[in-house]
Amino acid sequence: MEIERVTAADLPSIIDIDTRISGIQKPKLWADLIDAQETDDKRSFFVARLNGQVVGYVVGEVRGWEFGSPPCGWLYTIGVRPEYRVDKIGTVLFNALADAFQSQGVETFRTMLHIDDHLLMSFFRAQGLTAGPFVELEMRLDDRD
């Protein structure tokens, strides 16, 4: 398996993997993420290849100072073709992103996920992530008075 920076040629494979996972096609989102990586040295976007085929991806960014937080690495999304999930590809991608964050001088790795996403929660727990010091709050904007 090879872990490499994403290229524009990887776009169809990434869209396919994401659509299989999420059920929603988001070509503009993925194209924008690939474009942003080219101009933002804080952004990391890697793909995993097996025999030349893209079988997974991970996207993250170093950000900081939101609500008093020092800069840290944020994992935005990770995806692996379902038929390859037992091959530790997600772990290798996770570690590649963690290494990229560490090389940028940050000491903390964060992400956010839906509370009912038990598969992803199990994966992140297996990587060593635990609850952090922040609590996400939200409201529906159409419920405001």
Residue ranges per domain, the chain? 2-143
At 64 the pLDDT is 83
Q: What would the two tokens of residue 16 be? A: 């396919």
Tens digit of each residue's pLDDT (9 = 90 or more) over 69-94? 889 999 999 999 999 998 999 999 99
**Stated pTM of the model:** 0.92
Other Cβ atoms within 10 Å of 87 Cβ, number: 16
pLDDT exceeds 80 at position 66: no
The mean per-residue pLDDT over the stretch 118-136 comes to 93
> What CATH code is assigned to 2-143?
3.40.630.30
pLDDT of the residue at 39? 87
Rounded alpha-carbon distances, angstroms, from residue 17 to 30, 85, 117? 11, 12, 18
Q: Which two tokens stand for residue 81?
A: 């073709």
Per-residue model confidence (pLDDT) at position 48: 98
pLDDT band at 67 (very low <50, low <70, confident <90, very high): confident
Task: For Cα atoms 33, 41, 35, give the angle at the middle one, nearest 5 degrees.
Answer: 25
Q: How confident is the model at residue 59 (pLDDT cuts 50, 70, 90)?
A: very high
Instruction: Give the tens place of pLDDT for each residue, 2-57.
Output: 999 999 999 999 999 999 999 999 999 999 999 998 888 899 999 999 999 999 99
